Structure formats: structure tokens, C-alpha cells
């Protein structure tokens, strides 16, 4: 039996695990509620939807961003859970390479998050079409960036899952790293006028910034697009490079650590 066949089996059953668990639906629910809130509050607070479809598209990109970020909750226990929950005692004594198990788990997480993102982008597209009668090409670009961001979030979370004793710990560390540490450093670099394209939080912004600069996005909240200080909109290409690095490095490290990790 080839390792590729085993990989297909692992991916299939890991994906089935995601479908059976509540957290996939909770993340989906949060993303959908966010979209509904945007669709309801924007016309209420701004006396109608923005004239510019691009502004509304940018505002609706918050939901997909959240869906991609929700990958943390799917991946947090991917590796740590096998050790903490002792399910590894059943899974690991099978004639399957540890790397195959990690790749299968990663692909299953990617499939689950992609499902979420596709669903939320469908809502975005339907909403834009219903309100403005058009769907933007940039929405497809935003979709691609969102998938890439989800991949980098999953890899970073897999890394923390591979080094953590518990699933909850891995999830919390990943959240702290992505929101707090990355967010704070990003904010400081941004205000200091230094490059910050390599921070995950900036990379997340690229999902929205594909529609235009920060000013355009802020127009959704503050007509006129006034910002308290001048911010240079990061280069999308550099964000793509950054996300690819997070995705590859995080995954390679998690696979290497998982292979060496013992189940005592």
C-alpha cells in the first residue's frame, strides 16, 4: 500500500472529524453573523449602503478574514490532541509514517477552512450582486489571499500544536501569537513608519487591501476615509511572500517536531 493511499485515508477521516465537531460550525456561525451585522448596520448607521461597491466589498471581507483566522480552532488540537487525548496510542502504532499523518491532518484542516471561506465568499458575492448588481474581480483576488492567509494561520497553529502538551494551550498560544504579539509589533512598526509586511496581522489586512488602501477601508467606518495618522498601504506581493514563508516554515517545523515527538 503506497504512502499516498494512506495519505488519502488520513485526510478523508480527519476531514470527517472536522465535519463531526461543533467548532467548524461555530467558526462558520461567527463569520456569518459578522456578515449579517455588516449588512444590517452599514445602511442603518450610514443612511444606506456606500455608493462605491468597492467600499462595501472591503467591509464584507471581515467575515472571510474571521473564517480564515478560525483555522486556529480547527488546527490547535491536530497534533497536541493525539498526545493529550491519548488517541495517539491507537493511531501511531499503525504502519504509517508520522509525516503522512501530519500532512493528512493539515490537508483536512485546509479543506475544512476552504469550505468555510468558500461559503462566506458566496455570501459576499450574493450580497454585492443583490445590492449593486455586480461582483468585483478583486473579490476573487481577495478569496485567493484569504486562502493563503488561512494556510499560514494553519501552519503557525500546527507548529504550536506540535510543541504543546495540550490542545487548549496550543490554541491559546497561537491566538496570542497571531492577535497580540503580531498585532502589537505590527502596530508599532506601522506607526513608526517601518516595514511591517512580514507580520501576520498585516498579511490578514491584505485580504481587504486588495480592494484599495487603508483609506478606502476606513471610508466604510468614517466617510471621507480620514485616518488619525498616515499609513503606507503594504505591498500585496510582499504579503503573499510573507504568507508563503509562514505557511512553509510553520508546516515543515511542525512535521519535523511531530516526527521526533515521543508518546510516553
Partner 1 sequence: MNSSSDRTHGPIVIESLSKYYNKFLALDNLSLRIEDNENIGLLGPNGAGKSTTLKILCGLLRPSSGAAYIDGINVLEKPEQALSRIGAVVETPEFYPFFTPKEILNYLGRLRGMQGDRLRRRIEEVIGLVGLKEWVTVKVEKFSRGMKQRLGVAQALLHDPPILILDEPALGLDPRGMVEFREIIEKVGKEKTVFFASHQLVEVAQICKTVAIIDHGRLLAYDDIAQLERKYQSLERAYLELTGGSL
Residues of this chain that interact with partner 1 (CB under 8 A) are 1, 5-6, 9-10, 13, 16-17, 20-21, 85-90, 92-97, 262-264
Smallest separation (angstroms) from partner 1 to the CB of 173:
23
Smallest separation (angstroms) from partner 1 to the CB of 5:
8
Q: Which is nearer to partner 1, 97 or 129 (CB)?
A: 97
Q: Which is nearer to partner 1, 177 or 256 (CB)?
A: 256
Smallest separation (angstroms) from partner 1 to the CB of 262:
5
**Can you tell me whether residue 32 is helix, strand or coil?**
helix
174 close to 76: Cβ distance less than 8 angstroms: yes
Q: Which is nearer to partner 1, 10 or 208 (CB)?
A: 10
Smallest separation (angstroms) from partner 1 to the CB of 100:
9
User: CA angle, 157 as apex, 61 and 164 as ends, to 5°?
Assistant: 155
- Grid cell digits, residue 35: 456578515
Query: Cβ contacts of residue 189 below 8 Å, gap of 6+?
Result: 195, 196, 199
Q: Which is nearer to partner 1, 94 or 194 (CB)?
A: 94
**What does 212-231 look like in DSSP terms, one character per residue?**
S-HHHHHHTTSTT---SS--
d(CA 181, CA 8): 36
Smallest separation (angstroms) from partner 1 to the CB of 90:
5
Q: Which is nearer to partner 1, 166 or 187 (CB)?
A: 166
Smallest separation (angstroms) from partner 1 to the CB of 58:
38
Q: Helices in the chain by DSSP H: which ranges?
A: 3-20, 22-45, 53-60, 62-69, 71-75, 80-84, 88-91, 98-132, 137-163, 167-175, 182-191, 200-209, 214-219, 236-260
Tell me phi and psi for residue 21, to 5 degrees. Answer: -95, 150
Q: Which is nearer to partner 1, 85 or 223 (CB)?
A: 85
117 close to 143: Cβ distance less than 8 angstroms: yes
Amino acid at each position: 500500500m503506497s504512502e499516498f493511499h494512506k495519505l488519502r485515508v488520513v485526510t478523508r477521516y480527519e476531514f470527517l472529524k472536522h465535519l463531526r465537531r461543533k467548532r467548524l460550525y461555530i467558526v462558520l456561525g461567527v463569520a456569518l453573523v459578522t456578515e449579517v451585522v455588516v449588512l444590517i448596520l452599514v445602511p442603518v448607521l450610514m443612511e444606506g449602503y456606500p455608493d462605491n461597491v468597492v467600499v462595501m466589498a472591503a467591509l464584507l471581507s471581515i467575515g472571510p478574514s474571521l473564517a480564515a483566522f478560525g483555522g486556529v480552532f480547527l488546527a490547535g488540537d491536530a497534533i497536541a490532541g493525539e498526545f493529550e487525548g491519548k488517541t495517539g496510542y491507537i493511531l501511531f502504532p499503525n504502519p504509517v509514517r508520522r509525516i503522512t499523518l501530519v500532512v493528512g491532518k493539515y490537508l483536512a484542516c485546509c479543506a475544512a477552512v476552504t469550505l468555510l471561506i468558500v461559503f462566506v465568499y458566496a455570501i459576499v458575492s450574493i450580497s454585492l450582486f443583490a445590492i449593486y448588481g455586480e461582483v468585483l474581480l478583486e473579490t476573487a483576488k481577495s478569496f485567493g489571499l484569504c486562502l493563503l492567509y488561512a494556510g499560514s494561520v494553519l501552519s503557525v497553529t500546527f507548529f504550536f500544536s506540535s510543541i504543546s502538551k495540550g490542545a487548549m494551550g496550543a490554541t491559546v498560544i497561537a491566538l496570542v501569537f497571531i492577535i497580540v504579539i503580531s498585532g502589537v509589533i505590527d502596530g508599532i512598526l506601522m506607526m513608526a513608519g517601518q516595514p511591517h509586511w512580514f507580520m501576520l496581522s498585516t498579511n490578514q489586512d491584505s485580504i481587504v487591501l486588495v480592494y484599495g488602501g487603508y483609506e478606502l477601508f476606513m471610508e466604510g467606518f468614517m466617510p471621507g476615509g480620514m485616518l488619525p495618522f498616515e499609513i503606507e498601504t503594504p505591498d500585496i506581493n510582499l504579503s503573499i511572500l510573507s504568507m508563503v514563508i509562514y505557511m512553509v516554515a510553520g508546516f515543515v517545523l511542525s512535521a519535523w517536531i511531530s516526527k521526533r515527538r515521543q508518546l510516553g
